[in-house]
Amino acid sequence: MRVLIPNLGSTSLKYQLLETDNETVLARGKIDRIGGAESQIVCWETGSAQESRTTAPVPDHRAAIKILIDRLARLGTGGGEGIAAVGFKAVHGGPRYCGSFIVDDNLLAAMQDFVPVAPVHNPVYIQAMQIFRETLPGVPMVAVFETGFHATIPEHASIYGVPYEWREKYGVRRYGFHGSSHRYIAQRVPDLLCRSAKGLRLISCHLGGSSSITAIQSGQSVDTSLGFSPQSGLEQSSRSGDLDPFAVLHVMEKENLSPGEVRQVLCKKSGLLGISGISNDVRDLEKGADEGNARAALALEVFIYEVKKYIGAFTAAMGGLDALAFAGGIGENSCRVRQQVCGGLGFLGIHLNQEANRAPAQGDRVISLPCSRVAVMVLYTNEELMVARETARVLTTH
Ligand code: ADP
């Protein structure tokens, strides 16, 4: 089955066209700087020696989606008639939609209801789902919610200390996100270690523009750092991460901020950017710290400390640890973050091979010493593959 996986950002559209029968990528591409005068369009199709790169004005997501569909049709790798389904890595569908579902009006309404909880992610996906439905009528669309992998988290790890009615009336509980990435890691780690997932206690660190850590026992999520919204857990690039709700109320009252205004600050001006004051990108923070910028160094220190704390907490929650995996833009690329996170964790059986950790990227790999009780790994997560598999599964079972 040919499944198109669009991956939407507020000003970007990445995509892959996957053949699920043999799990091969038929086409992929990226349209960047949507809304600007000089959008960049990078595409690759199977059989092409190299990517094509062009620049053109792409005013909005509708125009970007049209470029993508035309491109696939023109190059004979799909097009409307060749795409069997569209699979979306959707973020928040509330309590009713924790898993993978066919996109229909009820699902879109549930996502709309959770826009204030996932303001960075839900609106762009709702809009894209509507455009794809109009552009490719009759092609089934599946939403693979990022919360789905975490449906196995037990109640004691998902409930908050608020009136129980909030959970029943408003769905206030821990959902967890990055489900496709953590699901990939849960399946890939046992393969790499040549063992069964049964009994394996794994901590998956997806560290990127948005970061989360998940405790995975026998292949199932048992706890995770993100909660009711993607704004919680670790410090995100520009989102706050966990904080005391009374701090928010205090500042709202002091500065007379509306919920909308404070939401903007917590989404766009907080996290690594908020602490450092210079950037939300770990590359800039590492450079800044090396050049003596104290707040850049502090932002990194806070982030690394929080990752360590989750590793300790989740090891305790699972009664031990067998494997620790790093993925995402920071997890894959920053040997400094990996080294500092693992430093001092010898008492948990984590011993990094410093040379392997520093070696230039070489794909999925183990970076711990042979004597390390816990296998430490770097993985290139493949969320698109997970979304394609889920899409095919949902459509086959329907
Ligand atoms: P997203 O969550 O948007 O998909 P990624 O997982 O690609 O993003 O992560 C992007 C982040 O990864 C950047 O914001 C930056 O902080 C970090 N990053 C990317 N490359 C490097 C690098 N070479 N060294 C350190 N950090 C990096």
- Residues paired with residue 87 on neighbouring β-strands, in sequence order: 142
**% of the chain at pLDDT higher than 90:** 90
Ligand 1 contact, 272 CB (< 6 A): no
Ligand 1 contact, 333 CB (< 6 A): yes
Same CATH topology for 2-145 and 195-383: the answer is yes
Please tell me which residue, 78 or 121, carries the higher pLDDT value.
121
Ligand 1 contact, 281 CB (< 6 A): yes
The gap from C-alpha 19 to its chain's centroid, in whole angstroms, comes to 22
Candidates 16, 267, 300, 330: which one to mutate for ligand 1, based on the most atoms within 8 Å of Cβ? 330
Ligand 1 contact, 328 CB (< 6 A): yes
90, 123, 146 from 118: Cα distances, Å: 11, 8, 12
Domain ranges of the chain: 2-145, 195-383
Nearest-angstrom CA–CA distance, 234 and 309: 10
Arithmetic mean of pLDDT, 175-203: 97
Number of the ligand 1 atom closest to the C-alpha atom of 281: 16
pLDDT at 329: 94
Nearest-angstrom CA–CA distance, 240 and 209: 12
State the Cα angle at 317 between 329 and 343, rounded to 5°. Answer: 50
209, 213, 282, 305, 328 from 309: Cα distances, Å: 20, 11, 19, 6, 19
CA of 75 from ligand 1 middle (Å) equals 31
CB 238 within 8 A of CB 269: yes
Does domain 2-145 sit in CATH 3.10.150.10?
A: no
Ligand 1 contact, 361 CB (< 6 A): no
Residues 24-37 pLDDT 10s: 999 999 999 998 88
Ligand 1 contact, 327 CB (< 6 A): no
Nearest-angstrom CA–CA distance, 139 and 5: 13
- Residues paired with residue 375 on neighbouring β-strands, in sequence order: 323
Residues 86-132 pLDDT 10s: 999 999 999 999 999 999 999 999 999 999 999 989 999 999 999 99
- Order of all β-strands in the sheet with 323-327: 220-224, 212-217, 201-206, 323-327, 375-378, 365-366
- H or E stretch at 305: helix 294-318
pLDDT at 257: 97
Ligand 1 contact, 283 CB (< 6 A): yes
Name the token pair of 393. Answer: 């599964």
pLDDT at 341: 98
pLDDT at 128: 96
Match 């964790």 to its residue by tokens. Answer: 345
Match 């894959």 to its residue by tokens. Answer: 332
Nearest-angstrom CA–CA distance, 211 and 303: 10
CB 184 within 8 A of CB 386: yes
* pLDDT class of 364 with cuts at 50, 70, 90: very high
Residue with the smallest CA separation from ligand 1 atom 2 is 209
* pLDDT class of 78 with cuts at 50, 70, 90: very low
pLDDT at 301: 98
* Fold of domain 195-383: Nucleotidyltransferase; domain 5 (3.30.420)
CA of 283 from ligand 1 middle (Å) equals 8
Arithmetic mean of pLDDT, 223-237: 96
Rg, C-alpha atoms of the chain: 21
CA of 107 from ligand 1 middle (Å) equals 31
